[in-house]
Structure 1
Amino acid sequence: MLAPTVSVLALAVVLAGAVARPFRLPEAAFALPAAGAVLAVGAVTPEAVREEAERLGPVIGFLAAVLVLAKLCDDEGLFHACGTWMARWARRRPRRLLGAVFGLASLITAVLSLDATVVLLTPVVFATSARMGARPGPHAYASAHLSNTASLLLPVSNLTNLLAFTATGLGFTRFALLMLLPWLAAIAVEYGIFRRFFARDLAAPAAPVEPPEPVAPPLFALCTVAATLVGFGLASATGLDPAWAAAAGATVLAVRALARRRTTPRALVRSAALPFLAFVLALGVVVRAVVDQGLGTALAHVLPDGTSLPALLGIAALAAVLANLINNLPATLALVPPASASGPGAVLAVLLGVNIGPNLTYAGSLATLLWRRIAHDHDHPVALGEFTRLGLLTVPVALTASTVALWASLRLLGG
């Protein structure tokens, strides 16, 4: 009984540390000792640790490259330009601003990952709302929800997608094609509910503090991101890991930034978030221990088989519940192996649950926790009741709509 008990306790410590971050310690400060503990009591074997390191290595490398790429895009002025574009498009109308936030947050999340939306776009949303004199609530919540919901489209949009991508057996382009309809369906549902939920805030007249000044588009950054996206598709088609394309895009921007003295090697290393990468690896080891000590068998018994519509709905719902109980990263690591037995469609249904489901609670994803800190830093305390009510309205409908859309995509395109 020692190994199962230590495994569960280790996972609890890791999640509690990631949520609370006492003394502002990085997540790795809790995850690395926990991984050592499960290894010490034999809950996971050295061979299993090596397997996890080999499986997560490319994912971690890709994540580091994307984080650097996103930060360099910010240094190039891409996110400042986004704020100006949103303000000019909105024309002092909060409803139009909400539409602009939905559009930009969806694209940024899909292409540069949810971390870019939370860390880099959210402050811009607050600044743009203040400049327009609009109430920030609807737009700030939109950046939080879309950092999760809009991360369905590409394998690179979310760490959960990267963790599951290999298990799907799909190429980069086919993954995107199968997830396009679910992505659109989930975003459309969120937008419709946001319009009704925040109707009073959106109807309040805006009192602009200052008009937005025209900003030249950062063409070099935009072209680099576009080329990187093309590289993702080409890498997948030729059997290369997409991490190489991400690294190439980050290298191009890094060389330019270093040559212009806009950054330093130390800043580049810091933007790669090495402690968080260590956390991901250690978390994988801890979850592997929990799975090996009984969770994997339990999930295999309750996870629906097949890719019929009822089965996909059941898989997505179970993934959403588990994500809110133990966070979406451990939920992905635990659910993908048994789901892969039913084929790529079942794995994609898991991703619907672990990406949309976290909008229900703060603890559902690390992105939501980080967004809450940013909101507090901008003097916008997040009310638990409001957050939960919005989640109860959006998550079940968005999850159902996207799962039906996935079922239709699988029937139309195969998979």
Structure 2
Amino acid sequence: MPGVDPLALAASAVVLAAVLGAALAARPRVPAAAVAVGGALLLCAAGLVGWSDAADAVGDVAPTIGFLVLVLVLAALADAEGLFTWAAAVTAGRGGHSPTLLLGRVAVLAAVVTAVLSLDATVVLLVPVVLATAARLGVSARPHALLTGHLANSASLLLPVSNLTNLLAFAATGLSFLHFAGLMAGPWVAAVAVEFLVLRALYRGDLARRPAAPAPDAPPVPRFALAVVALTVAGFGVAAPIGISPAWPAAAGATALAVRRLSLRTGRPAELVRAADLPFAAFVAGLTVVVLAVRRHGLEALLADLLPDGDDLPALLAVAGAAAVLANLVNNLPATLALLPVAAAGGPGTALAILIGVNVGPNLTYAGSLANLLWRRALGPAAPGAAGFSAVGLATVPLTLLAATVALWTALRL
């Protein structure tokens, strides 16, 4: 493993800071994708990353990026078919007249949407629907919005397809799709339960106010979209054991919904392009090269000295905690890219503990994940300030990290 080169590490870190600054800025002067790609090219031109190494790094992550694009399109098309609006209406109806029961239903809905359609679907598509449902019922939106935002991060533990960080780590674990899901089922349930219980306690005053209006009638069931999403998820589980990339079921599901909308003339090709969010794909590719430079010139060596070996409970807790701290310092996506090469030597338990850290930890600060920024944008002026967001995170993150890591340690020994 290369040692630390202070000058090269400093130069690479400056580029990484610029890329993250563009991503975290509310209105960046230069698009984040342009900064990431430009920074990657600059590092290659300066000789801090070899051109071939950069190409290899982008090639390695390209299938993951492609899958992410397909899932974003699938989720956007399902939303256009009314799937999220229907699900939220059913959730509100079954919540009856109890805000606490409604909060529990929202937790289940957000956890399932995050696990199946990724955290991006939750923050971009589900959060606005949850806000509208709370307003229609006349209840406080604050606990429901915060729980949905938190679960966009912490409920993304279940499947390799739930989060870009999971997709990046999946190959490093050497696990099958179903084995990954089996090991992470316990941490997923633990994380959702702790988030719900803590936020219910924190906002018991808001939840004491009864709904001022009856639950809206649920719209017709979007049967076609529901069937396509269900078959796509089933395809993820079937494809992996027989060596087929999960991108194929995602592509099939997205194609089925796209053909329907285009044939009925209820959608346009331009909407598919916007849903794919190609600038974000370019951002991830550029960021991969920038993080490679930081890793090669010292960060990887520093992390190797920091992370403990083994998969006993203290080691897993230390790994998850370190990953959570790094995610809040440099954002969870760069943290994952930096930690995974080090974790590869520690076995699947270490890699999965890192995922707990980088998926749960970002609930502590807005800078922890890009999903937090999308959530804040969805809430607009109603979003809590940075201090308020972190205050809630201090109440949930340590307990969620502990519960999820203990569940992982237990699963590894079954």
- TM above 0.5, yes or no, is yes
SS of residue matched to 2:168? helix
Partner of residue 150, structure 1: 155
CA–CA distance in 2 between the matches of 1:170 and 1:228? Answer: 20
Q: 1:323 aligns with which of 319, 322, 327?
A: 327
The answer (yes or no) to whether the contact 1:26–1:276 under 8 Å persists in 2 is: no
Instruction: Give how far 1:86 is off.
Output: 2.0
C-alpha distance in structure 2 between counterparts of 1:262 and 1:20, whole Å: 34
- Match of residue 25 from structure 2: 20
Aligned with 1:234: secondary structure?
A: helix
Q: Which moved more, 1:172-181 or 1:256-265?
A: 256-265
- 8 Å CA contact 2:89–2:215 kept in 1: the answer is no
- How far apart are 1:25 and its partner, in Å? 4.8
Q: Distance in 2 between matches of 1:330 and 1:372?
A: 21
Offset, 1:382:
1.3
2:100 aligns with 95
CA distance in structure 2 between the partners assigned to 1:206 and 1:222 by the alignment:
29
Say if 2:233 is the partner of 1:229: yes
Q: Does 1:288 align with 2:288?
A: no
Q: Could you tell me which amino acid in structure 2 is paired with residue 192 of structure 1?
A: L
Instruction: Provide Cα deviations, 1:277-323, integer angstroms capped at 9, x if missing partner.
Output: 00000000000000001100110111111111111111100000000
Report the CA distance shift for 1:158/1:302 in structure 2 as closer, same or farther (over 3 A).
same
Is 2:76–2:275's contact at 8 Å kept on the other side of the alignment? yes
User: Where does the alignment leave 5 or more consecutive residues of structure 1 unmatched?
Assistant: none
What is residue 372 of structure 1 aligned with on the other side?
376
How does the TM-score come out when normalised to structure 1? 0.96
Q: Secondary structure at the match of 2:139?
A: coil
- Aligned length, in residue pairs: 409
- SS for the counterpart of 1:134 is coil
Separation in structure 1 between the aligned mates of residue 175 and residue 264 of structure 2, nearest angstrom: 40
In 2, Cα distance between the equivalents of 1:404 and 1:26?
40
Superposed counterparts of 1:224-263, under 5 Å: 224-263=228-267
The question of whether the paired residues in 2 share the 8 Å contact of 1:6 and 1:37 is answered with no
AA paired with 1:320? A
Which among 402, 407, 413 is matched to residue 404 of structure 2? 402
Residue-by-residue CA offset, 1:94-147 (whole Å, 9 max, x unaligned): 112111110100000000000000000000011000000001100000111000
Quick one: which of 203, 214, 217 aligns to 2:218?
Answer: 214
Give the distance between the partners of 2:79 and 2:142, measured in 1 at CA: 24
Q: Give the secondary structure class of the aligned counterpart of 2:162.
A: coil
Aligned equivalent of 2:312: 308
Query: How do residues 329-408 of structure 1 correspond to structure 2 at under 5 angstroms?
Result: 329-376=333-380, 379-408=381-410
- Give deviations 1:353-400, integer Å, cap 9, x for gaps: 000000000000000011001111xx4131333311210111001101
Q: Give, in angstroms, the shift of residue 211 of structure 1.
A: 4.4
**Secondary structure of 1:156's aligned partner:** helix
The alpha carbon displacement at 1:92 in A equals 3.0
Aligned-pair distance for 1:3?
2.8
CA distance in 2, matches of 1:47, 1:405: 41
Q: Could you give the per-residue CA deviations for residues 185-230 of structure 1, whole angstroms, max 9, x where no partner exists? A: 111111110111001000123212x641232211111111111112
* Corresponding position: 1:185 with 2:190: yes
Q: CA separation of 1:248/1:24 partners in 2, compared to 1, >3 Å: closer, same or farther? A: farther
Q: Which residue of 2 aligns with 1:111?
A: 116
Checking the alignment, whether the CA contact within 8 Å between 2:22 and 2:28 is kept in structure 1 is no
Distance 1:24 1:93, change over 3 A: farther
Amino acid at match of 1:103: V
Q: Measured at CA, do residues 409 and 134 of structure 1 come closer, stay the same or move farther in structure 2, by a change above 3 Å?
A: same
Identical residues among aligned pairs (%)? 55
Which residue is 1:76 aligned to? 81
* Contact 1:38–1:286, Cα closer than 8 Å, also in 2: yes
Do the aligned residues in 2 keep the contact of 1:305 with 1:342 (CA within 8 Å)? yes
Residue 24 of structure 1 and its aligned partner are, at CA, apart by 6.7
When residues 23 and 311 of structure 1 are mapped into structure 2, their CA distance, relative to the original with a 3 A threshold, is: closer
Normalization by structure 2: what TM-score?
0.97
Residues 158-197 of structure 1 deviation map (CA, whole Å, 9 limit, x = unaligned): 0000011110111111100000001001111111101110
Q: Distance in 2 between matches of 1:3 and 1:21?
A: 29
Tell me how far apart the structure 2 counterparts of residues 58 and 43 of structure 1 sit (CA, whole Å): 25
CA RMSD of aligned residues (A): 1.2
The whole-number CA distance in structure 1 between the counterparts of 2:147 and 2:377 is 15
Match of 2:166 among 146, 161, 164: 161
CA–CA distance in 1 between the matches of 2:234 and 2:210?
Answer: 42
| Unpaired stretches in structure 2, ≥5 consecutive residues | 1-5
